[in-house]
Amino acid sequence: MPSNRLCQLTIRQAHELLKHREISSVELTRAALERIADVENRIHACLTIAEETALRQAKEADSHIRDGNIAPLTGIPALIKDVMCTKGIRTTCASKMLENFVPPYDARVIEKLKVQKAVILGKTNMDEFAMGSSNEHSAFFPTHNPWDLSCVPGGSSGGSAAGVAADEAIYALGSDTGGSIRLPAGFCNVVGLKPTYGRVSRFGLVAFASSLDQIGPLTKDVTDSAWVMNAIAGFDSRDSTSVPYPVPDYTGQLISGIKGMRIGIPKEYFVEGMQSEVREALGVAIRKLEELGAEIDWEVSLPHTKYALAAYYILAPSEASANLARYDGVKYGFSYPNANNVIQAIEKTRQFGFGPEVKRRIMLGTYALSAGYYDAYYVKAQKVRTLIKQEFDRVFERCDALVTPISPTAAFKIGEKVDDPLQMYLTDVCTLPINIAGIPAISIPAGFCNNLPIGMQIIGKPFSEEILLRIAFAYEQATDWHKRKPAITG
C-alpha cells in the first residue's frame, strides 16, 4: 500500500491490516513520519517528533503481533498533546517554563497505550498550559489549520486536531478544560470526545484547572473514538477524582441506531451573532437525526447558560493561579540564572518563563481568590456552577442527549482575535458549560462553509459516552462529512 494511503487509515482499518499481517507497524510508522516530514513545514502541529523511539516501539509491536498478541491499538502511531507526561520525551506544555523538561514517568493514559504496544510519534503543539482557543498562545509557534493555512486550528489541542486532520497520525490524545478537544476537532473536521469528569485518569496530565480538566481522543471517525476510549477509560488510584465505575465496551452500542431517542435542542446555544452557515448546517444535521428516528425536542431551555462564560473565567483562572504556583524555578523547569536573592529568582523565573496569556490568567485568578473578593467572585461562581449543573440534570430527565454547535463560527484567521481576549474567550461559549457541569460531549463533522469545517456537539448526562457515540455513529453512517480531506496547499 502506498505510504500516503497508509497515513489515511483509521485505527480500525490499520488494526485489521496489522492483524492479517498485510502491513507492519514499522511500515505504518514510517509512513506517518514521512507524512510529518512532508507537511510539518506548513501545519506546525508538532513540538517534538520522537522518531527513534517511535520506530523502536513499532519494531516491538511487530514482534508482538508475530507472536499472536495484538490489542486494538497495537502498532498504531499516535500523537500526544504536549501536556501529558511522557517518560524520556520532553513535555513542554508549549511554555518556555518547561521547554527542556523531560518527565521521569508516564501519564496514566500513556502507560495504558504502552500496555497495548501503541506507537508514540511525538508531542503536539498547544496553547501554553492549555490556555487558549487558537494555538496562537503557544510560546513556540502557531499551528495552522490544514483546511486553510491562514486560519487557526482551534485550541488548545490544536496540534492534535491538525495532526490527525492532516494524516500525520492515525489518532491523537488531547485535553479539554473548557472545549480544548472539541473546538479544534470542530475546526479541523475530526471527531473529539471530552469524557465525563472522572472517567479518564489525569495522573501525569499537567494541571490547568483541576475541577475541569479531562483527557480524551481526537480521531478520524466515531468508531476510533470508541476504540481509544476502551483503552484509556477507567479508575486510577493515583487520580483522586477518577471514578471506580466499570468501563463499558464503547463499541458495543455503535450499531444500535437512534430510533425513539429524545434529542433536545437548547435554544440558548443558538446565540446571537452566530454565523448563518453554522446555523443552517446544524438545522440540516438535526433534520438528519430526525430522519434517523430520533424525536427532536425543540423546547429545551438552559437559561443559566449565559452565565457560564463568566463563571468559567473566574473558576478556571483561580485554579490555574494555584496550580501554576509550583513553577518557581527550584524544583524543575526554567530557572532564571542571574538572580541576587530567592525572591528575585522566583520573580524573574515567572516573568520570563510564562507568556502573556498565562500571566493574565494567574492575575485574574489571584485577584478572584484574594481576601475581600473571594466571596464576591469565587464563591459566587461556584454557586453559578451548581445552578448550571442542576439545569442540565433537569433537562436530562426528559432528553437522552442535547445537540448544539461547537462554536458560533467556523475557524477564524490567525491574528484575528489574538489581541482581543474577550473575543477569544467567546469562541468557547458552547463548550465551556459542559466542563462546568462535568458531563461528556462529542464533536463531530457536520458540514462546511467556504471549505472550512463546521462541528456539531452532542452532549450527554454523566457517564453516557456510549449514548453519545451511538448517536454520533448513526449520524456519521448517514453523512460523508468525515470523509473529506484537506488539500493542504499554500
DSSP-derived secondary structure letter, 129: G
Contact 481, 466 (CB under 8 A): no
Provide CB contacts within 8 A for 176, sequence distance 6+: 157, 182, 192, 194, 213, 214, 215, 216, 431, 435
Distance, CA of 261 to CA of 396 (rounded, Å): 12
* CB-count exposure of residue 362 (10 Å: 0-12, 13-18, 19+): buried
Q: Tell the smallest beta-carbon distance from residue 175 to ligand GLN (Å).
A: 6
* CB-count exposure of residue 349 (10 Å: 0-12, 13-18, 19+): buried
Catalytic residue among 25, 156, 242, 407: 156
Per CB under 6 A, 29 contacts ligand GLN: no
Catalytic residue among 24, 133, 175, 180: 180
Per CB under 6 A, 133 contacts ligand GLN: yes
Per-residue x/- mask for ligand GLN, residues 323 to 362, rule CB under 6 A? ----------------------------------------
Residue selected from 103, 146, 153, 178 as contacting ligand GLN according to rule CB under 6 A: 178
Residue selected from 179, 186, 216, 460 as contacting ligand GLN according to rule CB under 6 A: 179
Ranges within 296-325 binding ligand GLN (CB under 6 A) = 316
Q: Tell the smallest beta-carbon distance from residue 317 to ligand GLN (Å).
A: 8
Instruction: Tell me the window of 18-26, 109-117, 125-133, 332-340 that interacts with ligand GLN (CB under 6 A).
Output: 125-133
Strands (E), 191-297: 191-194, 214-219, 262-264, 295-297
Contact 300, 264 (CB under 8 A): yes
Residue selected from 428, 465, 466, 476 as contacting ligand GLN according to rule CB under 6 A: 428
Q: Tell the smallest beta-carbon distance from residue 339 to ligand GLN (Å).
A: 31
Number of residues that bind ligand GLN (CB under 6 A): 13
Residue type, 41: N
Distance, CA of 451 to CA of 461 (rounded, Å): 33
Instruction: Tell me the window of 50-58, 128-136, 287-295, 325-333 that interacts with ligand GLN (CB under 6 A).
Output: 128-136
Return the number of the residue (208 or 481) whose C-beta is nearest ligand GLN.
208
The reply to whether 156 belongs to the active site is yes
Q: What is the SS3 assignment for 279?
A: helix
Return the number of the residue (176 or 236) whose C-beta is nearest ligand GLN.
176
C-alpha cell of 113? 497505550
Return the number of the residue (30 or 81) whose C-beta is nearest ligand GLN.
81
Return the number of the residue (400 or 428) whose C-beta is nearest ligand GLN.
428
Distance, CA of 211 to CA of 314 (rounded, Å): 13
Return the number of the residue (57 or 157) whose C-beta is nearest ligand GLN.
157
Catalytic residue among 24, 81, 225, 407: 81
Distance, CA of 435 to CA of 418 (rounded, Å): 23
Q: Tell the smallest beta-carbon distance from residue 137 to ligand GLN (Å).
A: 8
Sheet holding 295-297, edge to edge: 46-49, 119-124, 77-81, 171-176, 214-219, 191-194, 441-449, 452-459, 401-405, 262-264, 295-297
Q: What is the SS3 assignment for 358?
A: helix
Residue selected from 75, 122, 132, 440 as contacting ligand GLN according to rule CB under 6 A: 132
Contact 456, 189 (CB under 8 A): no
Q: What is the SS3 assignment for 327?
A: coil
Distance, CA of 229 to CA of 277 (rounded, Å): 32
Return the number of the residue (179 or 198) whose C-beta is nearest ligand GLN.
179
Q: Tell the smallest beta-carbon distance from residue 91 to ligand GLN (Å).
A: 16
Per CB under 6 A, 156 contacts ligand GLN: yes
Q: Cα–Cα–Cα angle for 26, 32, 34, nearest 5°?
A: 100
C-alpha cell of 316? 478556571
Contact 96, 378 (CB under 8 A): no
Return the number of the residue (48 or 160) whose C-beta is nearest ligand GLN.
160
Return the number of the residue (316 or 469) whose C-beta is nearest ligand GLN.
316
The reply to whether 210 belongs to the active site is no
Instruction: Tell me the window of 22-30, 170-178, 253-261, 332-340 that interacts with ligand GLN (CB under 6 A).
Output: 170-178
Per CB under 6 A, 408 contacts ligand GLN: no
Q: Tell the smallest beta-carbon distance from residue 263 to ligand GLN (Å).
A: 25
Q: Tell the smallest beta-carbon distance from residue 80 to ligand GLN (Å).
A: 15
> What does DSSP say about strands 214-219 and 295-297: parallel, antiparallel, or unpaired?
unpaired
Per CB under 6 A, 206 contacts ligand GLN: no
The reply to whether 81 belongs to the active site is yes
Contact 8, 485 (CB under 8 A): yes
Return the number of the residue (74 or 156) whose C-beta is nearest ligand GLN.
156
Residue selected from 131, 191, 311, 472 as contacting ligand GLN according to rule CB under 6 A: 131
Site residues for ligand GLN per CB under 6 A: 130-133, 156, 176-180, 208, 316, 428
Catalytic residues: 81, 156, 180
